[in-house]
Amino acid sequence: MPQWETIVGKNPVLEAIRAERSIGEILVAEGSQAGASEILEAARSEGIPIKVVPKQKLEQEAKGSNHQGVLAYVKARAYATPEELFEEAAARKEEPLIVAIDGIEDPQNLGAIIRVAHAAGAHGVILGTRATAPLTPTAVKASSGASEHTKVSRVPSLPNALLDIQRKQRAWVVGTDPDEGEIFYESKLSGPLVLVVGSEERGLSHLVRERCDAFVRIPMFGKIESLNAATAAAVLLFERVRQKAQPAKKANGR
């Protein structure tokens, strides 16, 4: 029998349908059908069973998550290997861009980083198992459906995975650090890149730091010491987007 997990919220469920995840059933709370019309239409077109249930039943199944009146049972995600993330880049004929996450325990923050990574064109996300949140329904919802379109790898040892990537993929591993390293807009973030994001409280773990080829920092001018991890990831990932677009602008005389 397949293992099933739940996805809650309108956007995550709709994106799961669009991503052609194997969905066993969709539950809709009584009185929520009108607000879930797009989901219901997409589910019917795919032949996915729909059941209207009392709101209390949905709340029990959602286990406290903000379900917005919709919940889906989906076949448990099969995590990708790190190699498959690079294969995704090759299939898209693009320079690899991978985001590695070290020590992010808050599933909301994890989901937000996945959302940013997807928006910036990343080919996948690598999660360490040590002190890093798994891809829970809360993280999926926080990603606003981006986790359904982003390859995610979960590895037993992030330092070992980074070392393997350096040897086999020849990617540049860049860690985030609020105190050390080059200012991000003075750093080279183009080319095959693994951007390693650590937690705001502890930063990168010791062994992960040893695997980094370089560090970048975001200068802070206010009274707070650092940015939320997802916000910092957004700044750095879209700096890469800017750097990759810059040669094209110069070629067009702009």
As a whole number, the mean pLDDT across the chain is 89
The pLDDT of residue 181 is above 90 = no
Distance CA 98, CA 125 (A): 6
Q: Is 237 helix (H, G, I), strand (E, B) or coil?
A: helix
Distance CA 193, CA 96 (A): 6
Q: Which of 109-118, 131-140, 143-152, 243-252 has maximum average pLDDT?
A: 109-118
Q: Are 235 and 197 in contact (CB under 8 A)?
A: no
Q: Which pLDDT score, from 0 to 100, does residue 73 have?
A: 92
The pLDDT of residue 250 is above 60 = no
Residues of the chain with CATH 3.30.1330.30: 4-75
Neighbours of 33 (CB within 10 A): 15
Residues 210-217 have a mean pLDDT of 95
Q: Is 41 helix (H, G, I), strand (E, B) or coil?
A: helix
Distance CA 118, CA 7 (A): 19
Q: Which pLDDT score, from 0 to 100, does residue 12 have?
A: 87
β partners of residue 29 = 53
Place 88 in a pLDDT band, splitting at 50, 70 and 90. very high
The pLDDT of residue 249 is above 60 = no
Distance CA 122, CA 208 (A): 20
Place 5 in a pLDDT band, splitting at 50, 70 and 90. confident
Q: What pTM does this model have? A: 0.80
Q: Which of 7-21, 80-94, 120-134, 176-190 has maximum average pLDDT?
A: 80-94
Q: Which pLDDT score, from 0 to 100, does residue 2 have?
A: 52
Q: Which pLDDT score, from 0 to 100, does residue 26 have?
A: 94
What the block records as the tokens of 24 is: 């066993």
Does domain 4-75 fall under CATH 3.30.1330.30? My reply is: yes
The pLDDT of residue 248 is above 60 = no
The pLDDT of residue 196 is above 50 = yes
Q: Are 236 and 216 in contact (CB under 8 A)?
A: yes
Distance CA 101, CA 98 (A): 10
Q: Can you tell me which residue has the tokens 């993330």? A: 85
pLDDT of 137-169, one tens digit each? 788 888 888 888 899 999 999 999 999 999 999
Residues of the chain with CATH 3.40.1280.10: 82-250
Instruction: Tell me which H or E stretch contains 54.
Output: none
Better pLDDT: 134 or 190: 190
Q: Which pLDDT score, from 0 to 100, does residue 53 have?
A: 93
The pLDDT of residue 239 is above 70 = yes
Give phi and psi for 61, each to the nearest 5.
Answer: -70, -30
Q: Which CATH class is domain 82-250?
A: alpha beta
Q: Can you tell me which residue has the tokens 């928006």? A: 119
